[in-house]
Structures are given as structure tokens and as C-alpha cells.
A and B are shown apart, each in its own frame.
Chain A
Amino acid sequence: MRFGIVTFPGSNCDYDAFRAVVDTLGEEAVYLWHKDHDLQGSDVVILPGGFSYGDYLRAGAIARFSPIMREVIAHARRGGPVIGICNGFQIACEAGLLPGALLKNASLKFVSAPVRIRVENSQTRFTSDYDRHQILTIPVAHGDGRYTADDSTLKELEHSGQVVFRYVDSGGDATEAGNPNGSSNNIAGIINREGNVVGLMPHPERALDSLLGSDDGLGFFQSILATVAA
């Protein structure tokens, strides 16, 4: 399977995503330059973390109009899998691939720490390797991670199982104490209605080796391999 990893000016997790695909999954990865118009036959597209265009205007707002995004959006509309991690999640929201938006953290502080998230839906192609309500430790590193959407969108996301990951405290509950950024309903990651576009603020690509603190991100990539190849 071939993964296309988009590099925007200011992306800084593209290399981590590349290593995750090549070293951990043993699959093929290609970098897609933001000015390109071609996904080079990618089966899965990853919008990686970073600070595309310096987060000017709003995080992800300018990257969303990069030439490559036209192809990424077309790929998503055809049902192709797209993964937005951190800045990639912000870009996916700005592009309208996912509902809602990501605002400045409620604390106004950049948060860089391992957090606990709970798998809310293990029946997606990105989470099938996990158990429902499994708790993962995955790092976050963001200043604009507060997920927000209007009430009816939130209700719909909850109702249709589109909330994939939720921040939880040490007891496994979605409390304010467990919420690093003030996200509505402690939302850490969502999926679109069609089930092919996922966005999350935590970095599973940085949690692939217990030597580096956690390998809880493995399941995320293994799920994709199992369900997309199938």
C-alpha cells in the first residue's frame, strides 16, 4: 500500500509520518509537495502535523488552498482514506473535509505532553485494531487544539459515532481535568460520516516505540493496513 505524505511549508511531522509508514508498517511512502498536483498513486493521504504557513490567519487556513489540496479533496470525495494529524486535522477542518474548527487552547498555552485518550469507536478503518473504550497514551503538541462545532453538529457527531477519540483523566473519565485544551465534549479526534477521513490532535506517529514513551499509536497504523488493504 502506498501512503502519500503532504509536505507544506512549515510541516514538521512529515518525516515522523514517513518513518511510521516505512519502518513500522513496512509499507511504501512518498512525500507530496504542496505545489504538486499529483498524489502519485497514493492509496492513503496523510496531512501531517506542523505549522503550515506559520499558522498565519488561522491554523490550516492557507494550506487548505495549496495546489495539492485540490487532489486531496478529490481523493477524499472518491472515498479515499485521508488522515489529518494535529495541523493536518486543522487543515482538514478548514478544507471542509471534517466539520467544526480548532481554536486556541482554553489555557492560551501551548501543550506538549503525553495525554490519555479513550477509543470511542473501534469500528472505523482507523481504529479497528483497538478495543472499544481502550485507553491510549499518546503525545499532543499544539496551541490550537480546542475542538469546536455548533450544537447540532456536536449532537450529530455524538449520535453517529463520529467521535473517535476523547481525552480522559487518569481514571478513564472524560472530565475537565483530563481535557488538555478545552475541547467541546473532550473531543480529541473525529471521523467524517462516510468513514474515510479522520482527524485527531494527538500524534500516533510519535507513539510507535515504548522506548520513546508509548507504542499505543501502533494500533492506529495497523488498523489502516488491515482495513484499507482489505
Chain B
Amino acid sequence: MTAFRVSVHITPRRGILDPQGKAVEGALHSLGFAGVKEVHVGRYIVVETDAETQNAAEAEVKAMCERLLANPVIEDFEIESVAAR
């Protein structure tokens, strides 16, 4: 078994009103960041887990996302990085 560190980005599903993102967007505009087109606020989760292979670690975290870490009705997730520790 190898120890892996897996990062997941969870964001509000596109098309669903994201008032938090909108509020941050407005604040950025008022700070003078005129080029900001859109902001989305989500969650960043780091899972440290033991697995046989990198693929296995990734598959396991995907299953975690589907069951608990993300809600497929309202959120999308992306597994960003898998690194052996």
C-alpha cells in the first residue's frame, strides 16, 4: 500500500444560481478588477488515503465524491491531483 494525497475541487453546477460567486464578483468589481467576468465559489478537499496504485486511489476518491463529498444534483467535482507521499 502506498500513501496518496488526492485533491478534489467541488463547484456549484453551471446554470444553478451561485449567489456566493455573484457576491464575490460584485466585490471584485468594486475593488476595480473590471476584467472579472464570472466567479464561482466552491470547496477544495484534500484526502490522504492508502491505496495499491494511483488509479485505485483516484477511483476511490471518485466514489467518495459520488456518495458524500459532492451532491450530484447541485455540484460538479474534479479530481485535480494524485500524488504519492
Chief secondary structure at chain B's binding surface = mixed
- Measured as residues with beta carbon below 8 angstroms from the partner, the interface class of chain A is 20 to 34
User: Is A61 an interface position by the 8 A CB rule?
Assistant: yes
Q: Are B73 and A101 in contact (CB under 8 A)?
A: yes
Task: State the CA gap A107–B17 with chains docked (Å).
Answer: 11
The interface bits of chain B over 60-73 (1 if a CB of A lies within 8 angstroms of the residue's CB, else 0) are 00000000110101
In whole angstroms, what is the CA distance A149 to B68 when docked? 18
In-complex Cβ contact of B68 among A65, A93, A100 (8 A) = A65
Report chain A residues within 8 Å CB of B83: none
| Cα-based distance from A148 to B71 in the complex (angstroms) | 12
Minimum CB–CB distance for A65 against chain B, Å: 7
* 0 or 1 for each of B8-29: is its CB under 8 Å from A? (1 = yes): 0000100011011001000000
Chain B residue total in the interface (Cβ 8 A): 12
**Contact indicator B20/A104 (Cβ below 8 Å):** yes
Seen from chain A, the residues whose Cβ lies within 8 Å of a Cβ on chain B are 57-58, 61-62, 65, 93-94, 99-101, 103-108, 146, 148-150, 182
A-B pairs with beta carbons under 8 Å apart, 30 shown: A57-B43, A57-B68, A58-B71, A61-B71, A93-B73, A94-B71, A99-B73, A100-B73, A101-B71, A101-B74, A103-B12, A103-B16, A103-B17, A103-B74, A104-B19, A104-B20, A105-B19, A106-B17, A106-B19, A107-B19, A108-B19, A108-B23, A146-B17, A148-B16, A148-B73, A148-B74, A149-B73, A150-B73, A182-B17, A182-B19
B residues apposed to A, CB below 8 Å: 12, 16-17, 19-20, 23, 43, 68-69, 71, 73-74
